[in-house]
Structure 1
Amino acid sequence: MRCLSFLLALLLTLPATAQDRHADEHSYAQPDQVRIRDLGLDLAVDFDKRQLAGTATLQLEWANEAARELVLDTRDLAISKVEARTGKRKWREVEFALAERDERFGSKLTITLPRQYEQVRIAYATSPQASGLQWLAPSMTSGGKTPFMFSQSQAIHARSWVPLQDTPSVRFTYTACIRTPAEVMALMSADNDPAAPRDGDYTFTMPQAIPSYLMAIAAGDLVFKPISGRAGVWAEPQVVDKAVKEFEDTEKMIAVTESLYGPYRWGRYDLLILPPSFPFGGMENPRLSFITPTVIAGDQSLVSLIAHELAHSWSGNLVTNASWKDMWLNEGFTSYVENRIVEALYGKERADMEFVNSRNGLKAEMAQIPPEQQVLMLPARVGSDPEDALGAIAYDKGAWFLQFLELRFGREAFDPFLRAWFDGHAFQSATSEQFLAFLKSELMAKNPSAVTEAEVMAWMTAPGIPDFAPATESPRFAAVDAARADWLEDRKAARDLKTAAWTTQEWVYFLEGMPETMAPERLVELDQAFRFTGTGNGEIAQRWYPLSERSQYFEARPAMSLFLRKIGRRKLIMPTYEALAATADGLAFASQIYLMAKPGYHPITSASVEALLAKAKAAPAQ
């Protein structure tokens, strides 16, 4: 334990150069030489070519007076010209070189300048296969008449549609002029005007500095309906009313979070409901969270996702991890704040159930990953995929650590501490070392007996979950355990279990507690009682279809196929693909489904499914 205490002291006293976690091994950029301070986009949206084309104008701030190169991140961009100037002088064409493409990181763009110009303008076009853009034909939308396009920039996909410094350590403001077909509405992670006319010519401003992964764009048949004076929903006309009803508590969520952690600093907070192909549950693009329609359950049982994306307005968007090694500073904080919002609005009972489910998922994930990836302070891993950090360790272990601190210090001390962290680091990118220093000076020094430095470092640098981690229990889950046991041990038939008042959280817990496999006739009984096959609840489907496949309950396959072809959210569909890929017959079935589903999948989802299927096909026959 003394060694861990020494490690914390060492981390907090090392020279900055020795412990600098701002360095980003996932970017070619050199922000220690020059930084982007403002970005101006002028782009045309071409649905026929599946392309954005135009210019990006970068306002530069030079840090090294000897520097004469600007190095940017790109992926599959066609660069036609680069120009530079200072002030309002005439643009001058300058030399540039696009390096050979790296499969993971794209191509380094090196712009050679004869002097330190204030502005650089790049003329370019995106690829139809841009990893950060999805183009949907009208047939893949709710209305069936208008095409749809949207972006997903996290973690390093912004470089596939804008040439920039694609690292969370660099923040910049931006403006944009976006041209679309006249019938299409365009939106961005910026100042979207609910009353803007639909005319194919749109301008946007983002006055707050953001990192590249929060750049976002969408275009389609989109309409707006308000929830409150500062919050509302953008969606296709066929979806918007359901979304407004489902997410009607959004303004209450904003107010609760403000009461805990200070004012909302982004102006409006709107939700954009995307088609089902969106690869994630949500994306916290500032002012305009992108949301999957799979959380419109009809009973508000999945609105914690809205609480999560809103919470990012403080943790992640306001204070950002400086590199993906410290992803927990974004997602762990956000998952903790999400749970506090849920508790305030829906009660501690529901918040505890969600904590238990997430921690069960964390434990399952830890069984599949090596110890060195189970720490909050990840080591630098050159050549690694930054999306490897987007897992339960960052989200749920991070939130668990913060709950541990809350319980040890008490909310009366911890809530002001967390607000001070947000206030003191607003619109900055931060590292774990900065948080540890802040924790030591602002919380631990005031109550030295509450938490030891060794306990802190056990969370930060040791694999697994510390033995002293606080346990969360749910009386309602105890009742679910009893019901499941009654059925498994043949004391009650499935139809006789008292489940009428169960929420999604209880059904998830019920299914996750089942044996790995069961006799097919047992699943028939469950299905007849609860109609799991064909469910419209993605969280239940995510658990039911893998169990069905492992148990050879093949009657579920037609509905499973429809689910996999309709939904592109990775969290929901990957467990079923994994279960299918475990057998030769299942792998063949999964491959057939994917061929049908691929046109509607986002490139991020396609890459995940293709990697899984390729690995399964390369494995020895089963």
Structure 2
Amino acid sequence: MRSPFLMLPLAVALAAGCAKDPAAPVAAPVAEKPAAAVNTVSRSHDESSYAEPDKVVIKDLALDLKVDFEQKQIGGTATYALEWKDKAARQLVLDTRELTIAKVEALAADGAATALQFELAPADKVFGSKLTIQAPEQPASVRITYHTAPTASGLQWLEPSMTEGKKLPFMFSQSQAIHARSWVPLQDTPSVRFTYSAHVASRPDVMVLMSADNDPKAARDGDYTFKMPQPIPSYLLAIAAGDLVFEPISSRSGVWAEPAMVNKAAKEFEDTEKMIGAAEKLYGEYRWGRYDMLVLPPSFPFGGMENPRLTFATPTVIVGDKSLVSLVAHELAHSWSGNLVTNASWKDIWLNEGFTTYVQARITEALYGQEAAEMEREIDQTDLLNEVKDMSPADQALALPPLNERDPDDALSQVAYVKGAWFLQFLEQRFGREVFDPFLRGWFDDHAFQSANTDQFVEYLKKNLLPKNPTAVSDAELHAWLEEPGIPSFAPKARSRGFAVVDTARIAWLGSEQLPSNQVTSQWTTQEWVRFIDGLGKTVPVAKLEQLDKGYHFTGTPNGEIAMRWYPLAIRSGYAQAQPAAGEFIQKVGRRKLILPIYAELLKTPEGLAFAKEVFAKAKPGYHPITTASVADMIAKAEAAPKP
């Protein structure tokens, strides 16, 4: 998943603030310590799930569902093929959230159904309701009849007016991290992988897609079938329905989108086949058949979601110049790091996102050059060094402690993305690409379609990489990366030559009040403009903001990456002329990382709080439940804060 935090789609993370020079790294001690990440309790245990995969696991899921736009519900049956691991087990425990369970049955080989007793526990505010099914005979197949709630956290239902085309309703899912349980009763943990098939009925004028074998030539008729033959974890289960058409990019890749968006998206993403080829050259065959992308309405709360065979993508990266298409590189990279080899629990999410961010940079370098990749790295690293200053020490480690009662959505930070990638860049530097590239490819091959934890990676590292050069990396250095807070003092630091030009132009303007010439800025990418804005400091005199706005038209920009930095700067600086446009932006867009920084600045003053509440009331019907919850929580905390 593209990081939900304050990051650039080309770079994994980039927050507003001063970025004239990279901050000094947060030093981590390098004293000799025991071997890294070796624990007495398996890190594969998932505190975020009620499931008991040591006793029984789902091996295959068969869905027979109906999508009801009128009731804003999905309902039908889920049938599970089970593998019982413990002969003494007499219960099947599943995760649910706001699901209505009508009945549970054991299915015999001849299809005969026998009712099973079940109990749905009271709902926990984070993990939902534990579903306990009595299964004294350990049936090989169980079927559950159920339906979702209109408020399911993993589904968003949009009225036609909230879509691009304004003609048909739209529905889509977001299952990561633990939202799949809100639309299918499951063992909702990344430690369990299953194949699945689905039959989905809907109104006949909408197209239904899933994270499965979508046929580009499928008829839009309200009756759809899907099959996912590769085993996936629950968070990669996905569904969408709306006014969707297909535009091919290559024989194995293309774009699904609303008719008004599909051609623009296909043009923006036309390098996708080249990206697949670059990744295959580095890390082996793409193993998922097709790689298609679904461009969602602006309410999608994230940049992208790596649902296998069908990446979900925000339209906010379609800006006409391909400057933000590393979103595709990131989600594609997940086809190896995350989808193919999955973190066994959310406390080891760096195994998904850190590896993916590293692979994304290698794809970017292969297609767009070393400087483009180095620009990403410097942005990432500078931002992370700023973020960790306000984080608890435990949350700064790659191998997080058990999450216990924490929502895994809240435990995710840029540490997993950027520190994880930085660690792999460190290993690459110490061993050289001629050694490190085959090692990483071997990790993907040897753990394909499996879930893994940090301990397993350390074991693999010590067996397959460290012997190549026994003095290259010490146990203490591994411990500093994996277990200690901050960034080790010995971490390799990125430096972009292109940013030196941007910094010089900004400094010259601040000293002379003469805006950089068009000759200098005409070829700047989104990333260079963001670097320019970020380096302006916390506030800027209103007169200088007016000069910038007149010269570069930041207020009202269609580029969300610039908007999410310009509007907070304008609000902090008292540039009132930008506030109406800021309100229009956060009302139209639901992508969290673009709008939360703007809300955060507005909420710092009574006047801004009142304005934010007014805008939120208008925007809320079009926001995803995840975005709604985030904004509502921010407003509630602002209202409860002591008044100065």
The equivalences for 1:5-84 within 5 A come to 5-8=32-35, 11-12=37-38, 18-84=40-106
**Higher normalized contact order (CA 8 Å, seq sep 6+, divided by chain length):** 2
- Looking at structure 2, the residues matched to 82 and 621 of structure 1 have their Cα atoms a distance apart, in angstroms, of 53
Q: Secondary structure at the match of 1:208?
A: strand
Q: Retained in 2: the 8 A contact 1:158–1:212?
A: yes
**What secondary structure, in the 3-state scheme, does the structure 2 residue paired with 1:445 have?**
helix
2:167: which partner in 1? 145
> Who is 2:493 aligned against?
471
Work out whether residues 333 and 399 of structure 1, in 8 Å CA contact, stay in contact via their aligned partners in 2. Answer: yes
SS at match of 1:289: strand
Report the Cα distance in structure 1 between the residues aligned to 2:33 and 2:577, rounded to whole angstroms: 59
> 8 Å contact 1:375–1:460 — kept in the other structure?
yes
- Alignment partners' CA distance in 1, 2:463 and 2:114: 51
Work out whether residues 494 and 526 of structure 1, in 8 Å CA contact, stay in contact via their aligned partners in 2: no
One-letter amino acid of the counterpart of residue 211, structure 1: P
Structure 1 residue 372, shift from structure 2 partner:
1.1
Pair 1:507-2:529 in alignment: yes
Give 2:464's aligned residue: 442
Is the Cα–Cα contact under 8 Å of residues 100 and 107 in structure 1 kept in the other structure?
Answer: yes
The answer (yes or no) to whether the contact 1:327–1:389 under 8 Å persists in 2 is no
Contact 1:190/1:287, CA 8 A, preserved across alignment: yes
Letter aligned with residue 30 of structure 1: E
SS in 2 for 1:576: helix
2:258 aligned with 1:231 = no
Structure 1 residue runs without a partner (length 5+): none
RMSD, matched Cα: 1.3
Shifted more, 347-356 versus 215-224: the winner is 347-356
What does 1:185-204 correspond to in 2, within 5 Å? Answer: 185-204=207-226
User: What's the TM-score, normalizing by structure 2?
Assistant: 0.94
Q: 1:495/1:594 Cα in 2 relative to 1: closer, same or farther (>3 Å)? A: farther
Whether the aligned pair in 1 keeps the contact of 2:397 and 2:486 (CA below 8 Å) is yes
Task: Tell me the CA shift for residue 490 of structure 1.
Answer: 2.8
Question: In 2, are the aligned partners of 1:284 and 1:310 still within 8 Å (CA)?
Answer: yes
The one-letter code of the counterpart of 2:431 is F
SS of alignment partner, residue 422 of structure 1: helix
Instruction: Quote the residue 1:111 is aligned against.
Output: 133
Question: In structure 2, what is the Cα distance between the partners aligned to 1:491 and 1:557?
Answer: 24
- Kept in 1, the 8 Å contact 2:48–2:403? The answer is no
Residue 561 of structure 1 corresponds to 583
- The structural deviation recorded for 1:368 is 2.3
1:175-215 deviation digits (Å, cap 9, x = unpaired): 00000101110000000000111110000000000000000
Q: Which residue of 1 aligns with 2:16?
A: none
1:496 is displaced (CA, Å) by 7.0
Amino acid at match of 1:483: A
Report if aligned partners of 1:221, 1:237 keep a CA contact under 8 Å in 2.
yes
Following superposition, the deviation at residue 130 of structure 1 comes to 0.3
The 2-side partners of 1:65 and 1:514 are apart by 65
Q: Secondary structure at the match of 2:172?
A: strand
Aligned position for 1:169: 191
What is the distance in 2 between the residues matched to 1:569 and 1:481?
A: 29
In 1, Cα distance between equivalents of 2:518 and 2:185 = 60
Moved more, 444-453 or 98-107: 444-453
Q: Which residue does 1:129 correspond to in 2?
A: 151
1:461 Cα shift?
0.6
Match of 2:237 among 200, 215, 220: 215
Equivalent residues of 2:30, 2:477 under 8 A apart: no
- CA 1:6–1:359 in 2, change beyond 3 Å: closer, same or farther? closer
CA distance in structure 1 between the aligned counterparts of 2:193 and 2:108, rounded to whole angstroms: 21
Query: For residues 565 and 356 of structure 1, what CA distance do their matches in structure 2 show?
Result: 32
Aligned pair 1:102/2:129, yes or no? no
1:420-431 matches, cutoff 5 A: 420-431=442-453
> How many Å apart are 1:520 and its aligned residue?
1.4
In the aligned structure 2, how far is the partner of 1:545 from the partner of 1:76? 37
1:518 is displaced (CA, Å) by: 1.7
* Separation of aligned partners in 1, 2:643 and 2:97: 36
2:182 to 160, 163, 167: 160
Q: Does 1:480 align with 2:502?
A: yes
2:563 aligns with one of 541, 553, 560: 541
CA distance in 2, matches of 1:85, 1:211: 24
Q: 1:119 to 1:546 in 2, by over 3 A?
A: same
Superposition TM-score, scaled by structure 1 size: 0.98
Task: Kindly indicate whether the alpha-carbon contact (under 8 Å) linking 2:29 and 2:488 is maintained by their aligned counterparts in 1.
Answer: no
SS at match of 1:462: coil
Greater Cα offset, 444-453 or 427-436: 444-453
How far apart in 1 are the matches of 2:482 and 2:609? 39
CA–CA distance in 1 between the matches of 2:163 and 2:30? 57
* Aligned with residue 318 of structure 2, among 292, 296, 299: 296
Deviation at 1:381, TM superposition (A): 2.5
**Aligned with 1:92: secondary structure?**
strand
Counterpart in 1 of 2:346?
324
Once the two structures are TM-superposed, the CA of residue 354 in structure 1 deviates from its matched residue by 1.0
* 1:414 alignment counterpart: 436
Distance between the aligned counterparts of 1:548 and 1:2, measured in 2?
40
| 1:138-187 Cα deviation digits (max 9, x unpaired) | 01111111100000000000000000000000000000000010111000
Judged with a 3 Å threshold, the aligned counterparts in structure 2 of structure 1 residues 287 and 219 are, in CA distance, closer, same or farther, namely: same
Q: Is the 8 A contact 1:591 1:613 kept in 2?
A: yes
* Letter paired with 1:289: T
More displaced, 55-64 or 313-322?
A: 55-64
Asked whether the equivalents of residues 495 and 529 of structure 1 are also in contact (C-alpha less than 8 Å), the reply is no
Q: 1:605 aligns with which of 606, 623, 627?
A: 627
Aligned partner of 1:560: which letter? Answer: A
Aligned 8 A contact 2:236 2:308 in 1: yes
Letter in 1 for 2:394: E
Alignment partner, residue 395 of structure 1: 417
1:34–1:61 Cα contact (<8 Å) kept: yes
Q: Structure 1 residue aligned with 2:544, among 511, 514, 522?
A: 522
- Residue 205 of structure 1 aligns with an amino acid whose one-letter code is K
Q: Distance in 1 between matches of 2:313 and 2:446?
A: 29
Tell me, yes or no, if the aligned pair for 1:83 and 1:121 is still in contact at 8 Å: yes
> Relative to structure 1, is the Cα distance of residues 37 and 583 closer, same or farther in structure 2, using a 3 angstrom cutoff?
same
Q: CA deviation at 1:495?
A: 6.0
Relative to structure 1, the CA distance from residue 43 to residue 509 in structure 2 (aligned partners, 3 Å threshold; closer, same or farther) is same
Contact 2:29 2:480 in 1 (8 A): no
Instruction: Give CA deviations for 1:400-446 in whole Å, capped at 9, x if unaligned.
Output: 01001001100000000000000000000000011011111111112
1:53 and 1:309 mapped to 2: Cα distance? 29
- Structure 2 distance, partners of 1:386, 1:81, is 30
The answer for unaligned runs of 5 or more in structure 2 is: 1-27
Partner of 2:574: 552
CA contact (8 A) 1:295 1:302 kept: yes
**Is 1:180 paired with 2:207?**
no
Distance across 1 between alignment mates of 2:218 and 2:196: 19
1:453 matched to 2:475? The reply is yes
Which of 230, 238, 247 lines up with 2:269 in the alignment? 247
